[in-house]
Amino acid sequence: MKIGIIGNGLMGSAIGYRLLERGFQIYLYNRTKERSNALVKKGAIRMDRPSMIGKECNFVIISVTDGQAVKEILFGDNGLVNCDNKLLTVVDTSTVLPEDSIYCASLMKKKGYAIIQAPIMGGPDATKKGDVITIVSGNKKISEKCRKILTNFSKKIFYVGNQDGVANYIKLGLNLNIALIAISLSESLVFIKKSKTDPSIFLEILNSTYFKTGLSEIKGPKMIKNNFEPKFFLKNMLKDIQLLNECAKHNGASLSFSSLAEQYYQMAANRGYSELDYTAILKLFNEFNNLPPSHQIK
């Protein structure tokens, strides 16, 4: 079966690897052509425009940064809606504003195309292992049809209702949780380092308690070694907190820590950490405290 993947960044590429491995024929489009080179070498076919992907494939996954990018992919001059393939179903896995998803879904429906939202919890490594959680909203029948594809890289799929955009609210709420856990772990590590105590012992103990998190277990050991190889860019975490705060303004939620988190991730971005993993928020807290980047216990 042919599947199109539009957006071949960290996540789109990981989805591509997984689906190639599972025997699907993969068609790719990425704005910056070179970024899909690795997948092309593995056997995926590159196309020059989103509309060409829509002509070739009845099932297309989008994984791009934000709502503006999704709108360009769908409705731009060379966008998917120009594919003239009424069998096309689009699955948007990007983390975007719910409002943008609602807009895209309603315009797609008007133009006679099917689309659902399917934001993902879990990074590229988990995607390659088929180990992510996917949250789906939109038309129930279409969602059921898409489940057969999503199940190839998701260990669990939550269908959260036929109202477009609902999955996006849940995804933003989940990401705020991660952003705050990264800050909380960073402050604990600063405290431990300032106390001239070994952060690796601290982490080992934390990770043997009920209060461990996926972040403390998987990212913690890398954080204390100053390893911020990007799996989820800090700039994208900042984008997600900005989206959440924008939503909160509209729905009347007063979220003091998410406002603070936005400021801290913005400061980290201003210091040039955008292209690092979001856990590089620790670098910022280290700097506030005149601590060297990685732990050195004398």
What are the residues binding ligand NAP (CB under 6 A)?
7-12, 30-32, 35, 63-65, 68-69, 72-73, 94-95, 120, 123-124, 231-233, 236, 240
Q: Could you give the CA distance from residue 204 to residue 101 in angstroms, rounded to a whole number?
A: 41
**Which residue type sits at 69?**
A
In sign, the C-alpha dihedral spanning 71, 262, 296, 213 is: negative
Burial 234-273 (b: 16+ CB within 10 A, else e): bbbbbbbbbbbbebbeeeeeebeebeebbebbeebbeeeb
Minimum Å gap between C-beta 30 and ligand NAP is: 5
Nearer to ligand NAP, 22 or 128 (CB): 128
Minimum Å gap between C-beta 231 and ligand NAP is: 5
Task: Show the DSSP H helices in 35-165 as ranges.
Answer: 37-41, 50-56, 67-75, 98-110, 124-128, 140-150
Nearer to ligand NAP, 120 or 183 (CB): 120
Residue with the shortest CB distance to ligand NAP: 9
Question: No. of H helices and E strands in the chain?
Answer: 14, 9
Minimum Å gap between C-beta 149 and ligand NAP is: 17
Nearer to ligand NAP, 166 or 192 (CB): 166
Nearer to ligand NAP, 135 or 282 (CB): 135
Minimum Å gap between C-beta 126 and ligand NAP is: 8
40, 49 contact by CB (below 8 A): no
Minimum Å gap between C-beta 95 and ligand NAP is: 4
Nearer to ligand NAP, 74 or 282 (CB): 74
